[in-house]
Amino acid sequence: MKLKSSTMAVLGIILIGSLCRMMLAGTIGLGVDESYAVSVARQLSLSYFDHPPLHFWIIWLTAQLSGTETPLMLRLPFIGMFAGTTWLMYRIGTRLFDEWSGVYAALILNISAVFSLSTGSWILPDGPLVFFMLSATLLLIRLTFESAAAWYLWPAAGLLIGLGMLAKYHAIFLLVGSCIFYLTTKERAHVLRTAGPYLTLTAAALVFLPVILWNQEHHWTSFLFQGGRGTVKEFAPLNLLKNLAGQTAWLLPWMALPLQWILLKAVFSGPGHPRQSPNQDKLWFLCCLAIGPIALFTLIALWGGQGLFHWQAPGYLLAIPLLGRAAAGWIKQGSKLPQVWLGSSTILFLLLIALLGTHTATGWLRHVQPDWFKQGDPTIEALNWDSLPPYLEANALPNPETHFIVTAHWIDAGKTGYILGRQLPVVCLNSEPHHFAFMHKTTEFTGKNALIIGRKAIIEKALPQYRSHFSSVQFLGTTPVVRTGIPELELVVFYATNFDGRFSLPYGQ
């Protein structure tokens, strides 16, 4: 069977993108969130402190089946899911508009940094989230715009939305956005009087049940933590501008600005009459799905709440087909500018990834442009603490008298736990231990001895408190974390005896 040129184009995007991600995954160490996720995923749980459980479960299963925790192996399922996400984006554009709208949407997805880089390969909840969000969106499109759609697609859509919510809470915006669409489109409002949407809601809630059960057992701590990050503090327009700039940078400005313009244009056009302007009806459908996370997490920044620049990304994800359609229309009209824009954007993205990837692996940019790194080099976060195991081995540590490892920060706990594997249980003794607080009770280690390990500045700050919980704390030595032979940060190791077990951890433990 001969494949269409549009299908070949999308398969080419998937193949080239996947190969590039595998190259990066095999050469760059795990980031702080990835190391943390791998460390806590070794202990299966219905849910976890920071996020719902799906990506932790994927990590656990991958490690069990492969027998290894190398970065490439653990990242492969996420790279595979993004290949599927690219295909789903193509299918959404094709079903709503035409095949080339789908092709350009798939390309735009793959040359936007927040999606192609972090979502596309890192061990984070975003990969499963976007895969299941687009899977559910494809079914919602069939249910909304195809009169012959089978009834069982309603609970199937709920199942996929529930799986998205098991990855990250953002997937709930699909339920909210769909409801807004039916309420604001007169000829489709009757859908809310049928059983279909409630089958979707019920299926999603059943799939999400593990998160509810875990939080009920742990004082609703995950919901309180995530909700607290968006707490309104004060009117802060400067925060809003910083947040908008961050969103734009994460998408890449030459991709973000056209996307934001096309989305705003569609929003202000409002819902169309499906019989008179079917395309406008479809544009409005995407607007309703997209606008929720963008508006909410941008407004949180306006009122002083803590905001991360990728929180709006699931909204932009669902706006990408709008830009794909616009690009296809401009090119069909004979305009050369969109082709130049997409071609140059692709080249710029590949150059940027090559620049960042090689610097993360070697640190070469710091020698060329040291002024860029006066405030520190964030790529150090992607270094595995590979020097730690040989240092401990050279000093006959841990010995039979060592029973657990203490760290003073959840990042240090994740890095230490990942590189040392399952040698000893890792306990994070500080006021923000994240999920490490739920892996072990401090009373388990009463009367036992520990290695205290971590970054020098972090440990030095915690030592006075630790000395009050151990009979003795003895300095053993230091080991650098190196990149291509150059020390990047210093780790310290202490030996502490006879833990009293009375260190109080937060989150109701």
CA distance 384 to 153: 44
- Strand 450-455 versus strand 486-497 pairing type: antiparallel
Average pLDDT of the residues in 311-339: 95
CA distance 426 to 450: 10
pLDDT at residue 508, as a whole number: 58
Buried b (16+ CB within 10 A) or exposed e, 437-469: bbbbebeebeebbbbbbbbeebbeebeeebeeb
CA distance 106 to 96: 14
CA distance 240 to 238: 5
Q: Looking at the predicted structure, is the pLDDT value of residue 2 above 60?
A: no
Cα→Cα distances 204→58, 64, 158, 481, 491, Å: 19, 28, 4, 44, 45
Q: Looking at the predicted structure, is the pLDDT value of residue 106 above 70?
A: yes
Cα→Cα distances 263→96, 129, 257, 291, 342, Å: 16, 21, 10, 9, 18
Q: Note the Cα 491 to chain centre separation in Å.
A: 28
Tokens of 72: 């490439």
Q: Looking at the predicted structure, is the pLDDT value of residue 198 above 90?
A: yes
Q: Choose among 164, 148, 251: nearest CA to 200.
A: 164
Q: Do the beta carbons of residue 490 and residue 456 sit within 8 Å?
A: yes
CA distance 44 to 57: 7
Label residue 306 by pLDDT band (50, 70, 90).
low
Model confidence, pTM: 0.95
CA distance 117 to 254: 16
Label residue 18 by pLDDT band (50, 70, 90).
very high
Tokens of 415: 């890095």
pLDDT at residue 414, as a whole number: 98
Average pLDDT of the residues in 362-391: 91
CA distance 490 to 438: 28
Q: Looking at the predicted structure, is the pLDDT value of residue 1 above 80?
A: no
Label residue 208 by pLDDT band (50, 70, 90).
very high
Average pLDDT of the residues in 364-377: 87
Residue with tokens 């999606």: 115
Q: Note the Cα 302 to chain centre separation in Å.
A: 23
pLDDT at residue 273, as a whole number: 64
Average pLDDT of the residues in 287-315: 87
- How many of the other CB atoms lie within 10 Å of CB of 422? 10
Cα→Cα distances 321→90, 171, 316, Å: 8, 18, 10
DSSP 190-203: GGGGSSHHHHHHHH
pLDDT, greater one: 96 or 376: 96
Average pLDDT of the residues in 203-212: 98
Q: pLDDT per residue over 227-275, tens digit each? A: 877 666 677 778 888 888 989 999 999 999 999 999 999 999 888 766 6
Percentage of residues of the chain with pLDDT beyond 90? 83
pLDDT at residue 430, as a whole number: 95
pLDDT at residue 509, as a whole number: 56
Average pLDDT score, the chain: 93
Average pLDDT of the residues in 401-419: 97
Q: pLDDT per residue over 107-159, tens digit each? A: 999 999 999 999 999 999 999 999 999 999 999 999 999 888 899 999 999 99
Q: Do the beta carbons of residue 290 and residue 263 sit within 8 Å?
A: yes
Average pLDDT of the residues in 473-487: 94
DSSP for residue 485: T
Alpha carbons within 13 A on the beta-carbon side of 267: 18
pLDDT, greater one: 147 or 179: 179
CA distance 355 to 362: 11
Q: pLDDT per residue over 36-74, tens digit each? A: 999 999 999 999 999 999 999 999 999 999 999 999 999
CA distance 188 to 274: 9
Lowest mean pLDDT among 198-207, 255-264, 300-309: 300-309
DSSP 383-442: ---TTHHHHHHHTT-S-TT--EEEESSHHHHHHHHHHHTTSS-EEE-SS--GGGGGT--G
DSSP 84-132: HHHHHHHHHHHHHT-HHHHHHHHHHHHTSHIIIIIIHHSSSTHHHHHHH
Tokens of 177: 């956005």
Look at the alpha carbons of 51, 93, 138, 121 in this order and tell me if their dihedral is positive or negative.
negative
CA distance 238 to 250: 18
Q: Looking at the predicted structure, is the pLDDT value of residue 86 above 90?
A: yes
| Identity of residue 185 | T
Q: Looking at the predicted structure, is the pLDDT value of residue 404 above 90?
A: yes
Label residue 284 by pLDDT band (50, 70, 90).
very high
Average pLDDT of the residues in 13-28: 96
Tokens of 16: 């080239």
List, in sequence order, every residue forming a beta bridge with 407; answer none if it has no partner: 428
Cα→Cα distances 18→22, 101, 102, 198, 313, Å: 6, 21, 18, 38, 21
Q: Looking at the predicted structure, is the pLDDT value of residue 217 above 80?
A: yes
Label residue 337 by pLDDT band (50, 70, 90).
very high
Residue with tokens 């600005």: 257
CA distance 357 to 117: 10
pLDDT at residue 147, as a whole number: 81
